[in-house]
Every structure is written in structure tokens, then in C-alpha cells.
Structure 1
Amino acid sequence: MLFNSFVFLLAFLPAALTLHALAERFRPDWRLPLLVVLSFVFYGWWDVRFVPLLGASILGNWLVARAYLRGHQSWLIPAAIVANLAALALFKYLDFFADLASLLPGVVLAKPGWVLPLGISFFTFHHVMYLTDLRAGRAPGYGLTRYALYIAFFPQVLAGPLVRWSEIMHQFEERPYARPDAAERVGRGIMLLCVGLAKKVFLGDPLAAYVNPVFQAAAAGKVVSVAEAWQAVLGFTFQIYFDFSGYTDMALGIALLFGIVLPQNFDVPYRATSLTDFWRRWHMTLSRFLRDYLYIPMGGNRHGLPVQLGALFATMSLGGLWHGAGLTFVAWGAAHGAGLGAGVLSRRAGLRMPRIAGWALTAGFVVLTWVLFRATSFEAALAVYKALFGFAPMGSGFKWRTILIAALVAMVGPTAWAAVHRLPPSRTLAFGFALLFVVLLLKIGDDANYDFIYFQF
């Protein structure tokens, strides 16, 4: 069930909100169990076969947490984290490991070809965050219903944002529609939902038509022209931003309708003036996870420069692997790790550059490394890189208007969250967003809908 589908927008979401409002008014003790049931229905709509996997994952980790709190056996939490990561590896990386093994002389392994359960990367990391903090004494124990809702809450179960237990658990105790700002929250939630959907439908999806054919041609071994390469790479730069930030805006808006505030995930990342600044603005919840649960445990910046550089490189390489089971993703992460390390060295050396130069260098680096993220193989990436640097026919027909509009929207003005919170409530505003929603529905019905890019991770 896509957020950008009729079945979600016109059936599931209205029904869920109605049931939630009735429970809140007449049986508040039913509200959280109802949200858990709705979340499992939403998740099972994709493929009911994986509902038992999600349920077993929640129940197993909750039982481990209870056993740890009762007996404080030190081995339980590490064993549970290993089990979570092993399940992720089996479903997501078994084919990848088979391909790696096949690179060895005389080794041929069949690829199982297992279907990847949607959201497994995200709910696995939620388990890891909670269990790690539980072992460190930072997290308390919770009942099964609250823990299940933390893991499976349907606005964020498939593609985030990655929510820490400390950011959401206390909100489950509230009576959201009894708050003095309840109506305002609902209004802001509807606006965020519309803005996120507009980013996906009006900007992200049209850019896909400029991007996909070029990368498909490169993957097929065809010659890509200079104009096509720049069109595809710049197009993907903004496509992935509007696709993923649009999803996040919708997730934040939908959560607000149910009285839950989720953390923001984007803060105008293409205005970043350094690579460190970029990762403070792009997929912010993942960046914090990588910092707190990988980089710092690896030593961070507390044990000397070599350890810091090694931790940066390893953290970002693993972050790249998390995004996809392919060496191109690892290379993308490793490139960012190396870039962050170069930034550390330049700051240690006392080098400074004007902000405009920092922005240009950062933007160029990010754009060029997106090729590794989008290409399906190193051969395809090399074909695109050759064209980008002029080692291909010039070509023609560069679709610059849509890309220019996307660039202006992405880089000028506030985030969607900031914008909708600055707008004063009014009848005119309500009418405008109602009209926008109708136009979006017409657009969705007229065009083919693309899946959200981050659903594959």
C-alpha cells in the first residue's frame, strides 16, 4: 500500500483515522492496540507472508528485553543483536555473499533469490537501537503493545525515519485529541501530507523519466552521450531528494494526524557547505544512528587521528552496504567515508575556504558519487562517468527546465516542516490545500505511480 495510492489515501487512511478517533473518544485504552493492528494491516497489505516475520521479530526482541531486565545476563543483548543482523543478512545479503564467493576461482554458489521483506532494514535498526540502549542502562522496559507500536508504527515502518525509543515512547501515553493544539496538529499534518505527496508526484516521478532510461542504457552496454549523462545524474540528484524527503514529509504528516511527532529527516541538504554538513542535513536519523551506534563505538575521535579516519571509513562503507546489497553501494559509502576523512585532515591542517567554494566542492562530490548509488554495476557507472567527463558523443536534448525547477525548490526556501509551521491558519489556506489534494488525486489517477526509492533498502 503506497502512500501515493488511492487505496491508502481514500480508504485505509480515512478508515484508520475514524477508528482511532472513536477509540480516543470512547475507549482510550483501545487506542494503542488499535494502532498496532492497523500497522500490521498496513504492513501485510504488501505481502501477508512477511507479517509473521515482523510479529516474530517484535515478540522475540521484547522477550529478550524482559529476560535481560529480570536476570541482567550480559550475553542476552549481544546475542539478540547478532540474531537481528543475521536475519537481515539472510533476507537482504545472501545473494550478495553468493556473488562475492563466486569471484573466487572454482567457487560457484547458487543464489537463493529470496524476496526482500519491506522495511526489514528499518525495523532491524529500531531493535538494535533499543537493545543497545537497554544494555547501557539508558532505556527502560516497556509492555508488548508499546514496543510493538514503536517497531511497527505504520507511517515509518517501511522507510523511516529511524526513530529512537526516547523520541516516541512517551508520546504513546498522551491523549492526542485532548491537547489544546490538537486541531492545529491535524491541520499541519494534512498540509505535510499534501506537500510530501506533491514533491513525489510533481517533481520526483517526472525526473525518473529523465533518469531511468539513461542508466538502463548504460547497464545494457550502450553508449551514453554527454548530454544524457548530465541529464540523468542531475536528474537523479533531485529525484532521490524529492522522492525520499517527500515520503518523509508524508510520514511526519500522517503521524501528526494520530498525535505522534516523528523526527525530521532532511534540512535542505543541497545547501551544505561541507560533506560533514551534508550528512547533518541528509537522512538525518540514519546519520545519527551511524554516528552513535557505529562510529563512536569504533573509537570515534577519542583515540587519535588514525582511529578516527578508520572509523569514518568503516562506518560509511557499512552505511553504503546497508543501502543495498551491491559493491557499488559499498563504493558509494566508502567514497563518502574518504571524503569525510579528507575534511577532518583539512580542518586539522587549518585550511579554510570561502562558503561558496565549500558548497561547490560539496555539491560536485555528492552529485558525482550519486552515480555509484544509482548504477547497477561498476561497468554502468564507468560508462556514465566517461560521458560526464566528455569521453562520449555530445548528444542533444538536455531536459534542463524540470531539473532547474527541481534545483530551485530543493535549494531555496525552508523545509516542508518549517514552511507548514510558519503558515497561519486561515480559510484561504484550507481551501488552497484542499484544491491541491484534489489536483494530486487527479495526477495520481492519470499517471503511473513509481514506488518510493527507499522501499528497496
Structure 2
Amino acid sequence: MLFNSYIFLLGYLPIVLVAFFVLGRWSRTVAAAWLACSSLFFYAWWNPRYVLLLLASITFNYVCGRTIARCAQTAAGKRVLTFAVTVNLLLLCYYKYTGFFLSSMGTWGHAPYGLLHIVLPLGISFFTFTQIAFLVDAYRGLAMEYSPVHYLLFVTYFPHLIAGPILHHKQMMPQFADPEIYRPRLRSILPGLAFLAIGMAKKVLLADNLAYYADRLFRGVEVGLHPGPVLAWTGVLAYAFQLYFDFSGYCDMAIGLSKLFGIDLPVNFDSPYKSVNIVDFWRRWHITLSHFLRDYLYFPLGGNRKGKVMRYRNLMITMLLGGLWHGANWTFVVWGGLHGIYLVINHAWLAVKQSAFPGWAERSNGLMARVRGIAATAVTFVSVLLAWVFFRADSFHAAGVILKGLAFGFRHTSDAPQEVFLWLLFAVSVPVVWLMPNSQTLVGSMMRKLEKTEAGLPAGLVWTAAFSLLLGALGGAAILQISAVPSKFIYFQF
């Protein structure tokens, strides 16, 4: 079931929400169980068979987590942790990488390996990583509450189940135990609706329309298209904006849906194209995944504790595995490797700048600082843009053809006429991405204005009314544009 579908918005969501609050007045445990069962139904809408896999994973990890917690930070606890994490990773690798491994072996060995047709369960990467984090937190003594109903809800909670964010036990369990969330609260419902409207507009009005122009390029090269510079650059830009608004829209909708239930999800997207370097980019893009890779892979590898060479090695390993996590294709590995190289260069440059030019940034005047910031943002964006080619391309051949088109190097090029609608989409996308405040800032400002309205200040009332009308118009336009077969969010496939 998709957030951007009529069955979800007009059927599933109102029924689940109303029943949650009605049951919450009677029993908080029953209400939590209802929300967990509703989340399982949400997952089963895609394929009921994989509900059993999800429940088996939850049961296994819950039992292991309880066992680890009883012997936290001991040798016995570490053995159980190692066993449980290994089982989780083997399950993930079986579903996600078996076909990739066999096809790679067949290519390298020139042998006709038969491929297994394994259907990848939706959200397996996210619910696996969420539970691995729980196991590690249990070993560290950070997981304190073990209600089976709350744990079931923690893993299956539908706003995050399919495409994140990756949650931590300590973030969610106190919220599920809070009696306040079981009663409707205006201060949660209003921002929830605001996030939902903004996310819907990003997904349906921008991302889905940009997808046509991105697909025209990337699918075209797979059937022999040799793009010229205009088609190559507009197609790659269309994909960069499509991915931005698709993922940003999903994150906004997940936060908004969760707020309707009074529960706060962690921010997972923070205007990443405004980043001034690649380190800053990974602090803003898929924030919970970045934190997971840092805390559970980069730091255990040694982080930066064993010198610069080992630090750069650990960065490369982390990003290569992060690329492979995104998809079972060598193009994703190259994408991760490029970002690893970017991070190594960035950290090396920061070290050189700090030692060779101490205080350089502080000595720059306001104008120079702004010019330097714009230039740094532009360089970072172009670097990310080039890496997106490998992220989206189905093969190295396709990526090579597009990169040649970007470099004006193809002799026999073809540039399709560029529709006015594409340039209109770009004209909207650019200010939204780089000039306007992001969703968190906008909704936070709305709530502060609303508080002033409650205090009797008319300016707050006018601002809140105008913003509400704008959000209503955006949300209404998005709902009217939902197609009969709504498009999936891109991160659903990871």
C-alpha cells in the first residue's frame, strides 16, 4: 500500500487513526496492538506471504535481544549478539544478493549459472537494520523496555516500515509508553497534516512529473540512444531533482503520518543539496542510514582512531558497503566508491586547510564568505550529480554513454526537443531546493505562529490562515493528481 494512493488516504488511514484513539481511551495496550496489527496489514497489502517472514524476524530478534540484555557487556552476551547479527545479515544477503552473486560468478567465470528468481521482500533492509541496532543497543545496555506489543509496533510501525527512517529502540519505546499519544492532540495533528500535504506535493506534483524526463534519458540509452549535451544534462538534472523530491516527500509524509498518532520520527532529510561539502551532504541525506553506518560499521572498523590511512580505508569500506546496501548491482558499488573517494578528498583537504591556512575562513569578509559558500555548494552538487548517473543507470554501458553526453564528447548525438513543462519544473525545483526553507523550518514556523495566535496576537492568526490555505491548495492539487496506478517511492526498492 502506497502513501500516495486513494485507498491509503481515504480508507486505511482514517480507519486506523480513529480506531487507535477510540481504543486508546479504553486500553493503551490494546491501542498499541491495534496499530501494530494495522501495520502488519499495511505490509501484507503488498504480499501476504512475507508477513510470516517479518514475524519470524521479529520473534527471533526479540528473543535474542532479551537474552543479550540479561548478559549485557559480557562474553556470553557478545556471542549471542554475534550469532543474532550474523543470522540477520545472512537472511538479508539471501534475499537481496543471491541473484547478484550468481550472476557475477557467471560473468567472471564465463559459466551459465542459473539464477534464482527470489522476490525481495519490501523493507527488508530497513527492518533488518532497525533490529540489528536494537541488538547492539541491548548489548550496550541502552535498550531498557521490552514490552512484546511495543516491540512488535517498534519494528512494524507503518510510517517507517517500507523505506525508513531506521529507528532506535530508545527513541521509540518511551513514546509508545507515553499515555499522551493515545489521545488526539491538536499540536500534533496540525503539523502532521502540514507535513503530509507538503510531502504529497513534492511526490505527486514534482517527483512524478520529473520522472518522465529522467526515464526518457536513462531508459533511452539502454535501447541505443546516444544523448547530446542538452538531453544528457536535462535528463540527469531531472533525475537528481526527482530523487530529491521523491525521498524528501516520503520523509515528510512519514513524519506527518506519525505525528497524526502523536509519535515523533527522527528527521531523515535536511536540504542535502545545500551542502557545502560531501561530509555535510552525508549529514543531511538519509540521516538515519548515515548514523547507522557510522555507529555500527565505521566506528567498529576503527573510525579515525588509528591514523589517517586507516581512517580513509574505513571510509572507503563503509561507503562501498553503503553503496551495495542500496542495490544488488555493481553500479551501486561504484556509486558508493565515488562517495568514498569524495569523503577521503574532503577530509584530506580539511586537514590541509586547517594546518596550512589556520583562521582563513575567519579572516574572510561577508561577501567572500558568501561567494565561497556558493562555489562550494555548486562543486558539491555537481559531484553528487555525476555519482547519481551510476546510481540510476542499469549498466556501466548506460552510465558511460550518459557521461560522454555530459562531457560533449559523443560524435553522433541526438537531442530531443525540450518541452516547456520540463523547464517549468526546473524553475520550481531550483528555488524550492536552494532558496526556500525546508519542511521542518516551515512547519516549525507555523506552529510558533499558532502559539502566538493562541496568545491573542492577530499577526499569528493571519500568517497561520494564509499558510494553511496554501497547504490545503497544495495537498488538494496533489490528491487530484494521484493516478489510478500511483508510482512507488524510489527507496521502496532498497
Band of TM-score, shorter chain: over 0.9
Once the two structures are superposed, residues 374-422 of structure 1 have per-residue CA deviations (whole angstroms, 9 ceiling, x without a partner) of 0000000000001000023262533333123212211112211221121
Deviation at residue 105 of structure 1 after TM alignment = 2.8
SS of 2:301's equivalent? coil
Aligned to 2:365: none
Tell me which amino acid in the other structure corresponds to 1:345: A
* Alignment match, 1:366: 384
Cα separation, 2, equivalents of 1:348 and 1:185: 44
Q: CA deviation at 1:362?
A: 0.7
Letter of the aligned partner of 2:178 in structure 1? E
Change (3 A) 1:437 1:348: closer
User: 1:182 Cα shift?
Assistant: 2.0
Task: Give the equivalent residue in structure 2 for 1:94.
Answer: 98
Q: 1:396, 1:80 → 2: CA distance? A: 53
| Structure 1 residues 430 and 273: CA distance shift in structure 2, 3 A | closer
Paired residues of 1:66 and 1:141 also in contact (CA < 8 A): no
Aligned equivalent of 1:8: 8
Cα deviation for residue 437 of structure 1 reads 3.2
Name the aligned partner's letter for residue 184 of structure 1: R
Counterpart in the other structure of 1:397: 417
Identity over aligned residues, as a percent? 39
TM-score (norm 1): 0.96
Q: Deviations over 1:208-241 (max 9, x none)?
A: 0100021011122322222111111000111001
Q: Is 2:433 aligned against 1:410?
A: yes
Q: Does the CA contact (< 8 Å) of 1:65 and 1:141 recur in 2?
A: no
Aligned residues: 455
Maintained 8 Å contact 1:266/1:415: no
Equivalent of 1:149, from 150, 153, 156?
153
Which structure has the greater CA radius of gyration? 2
Q: Which runs of 5 or more residues in structure 1 are unaligned? A: none
Q: Match of 2:332?
A: 329
Contact 2:197 2:474 survives alignment (8 Å): yes
State the shift of 1:26 in Å. 2.3
Contact 2:44 2:50 in 1 (8 A): yes
Q: Give the equivalent residue in structure 2 for 1:454.
A: 491
Of residues 263-272 and 356-365 in structure 1, the stretch that sits farther from structure 2 once superposed is 356-365
Q: Name the SS for the 2:43 alignment partner.
A: helix
Cα distance change, pair 361–432 in 1 and its aligned pair in 2 (3 A): closer
Change (3 A) 1:322 1:241: same
Matches of 2:227 and 2:36, distance apart in 1: 48
Q: Could you tell me which residue of structure 1 aligns to residue 459 of structure 2?
A: none
Q: Deviations over 1:302-332 (max 9, x none)?
A: 1101110000001011000000000000000
Q: Which residue of 2 aligns with 1:37?
A: 37
For 1:316, which of 304, 319, 341 is the aligned residue? 319
In structure 2, what residue type is equivalent to 1:365?
A: S
Distance 1:96 1:432 in 2: 46
User: Tell me, what secondary structure is at the counterpart of 1:33?
Assistant: helix
Q: Deviations over 1:408-455 (max 9, x none)?
A: 21111221122112113445554544444333221114x752110000
Residue type at the aligned position of 2:133: M
The range that moved more, 325-334 or 223-232, is 223-232
Bigger mean CA offset, 20-29 vs 154-163: 20-29
Residue number among 464, 469, 476 corresponding to 1:438 in the alignment: 476
Q: Once the 2 structures are TM-superposed, how far is the Cα of residue 25 of structure 1 from its aligned partner?
A: 1.7
SS at 2:113's partner residue? Answer: coil
Structure 2 CA distance for aligned equivalents of residues 23 and 199 of structure 1: 33
Deviates further, 2-11 or 24-33: 24-33
Alignment deviations for residues 7-40 of structure 1 (CA, whole Å, 9 cap, x no partner): 0000000000111010112222311111111110
TM-score (norm 2): 0.89
* One-letter code aligned to 1:115: V
Which runs of no fewer than 5 residues in structure 2 stay unpaired? 362-371, 451-463
Query: 1:194-233 maps to which residues of 2 (within 5 A)?
Result: 194-233=197-236
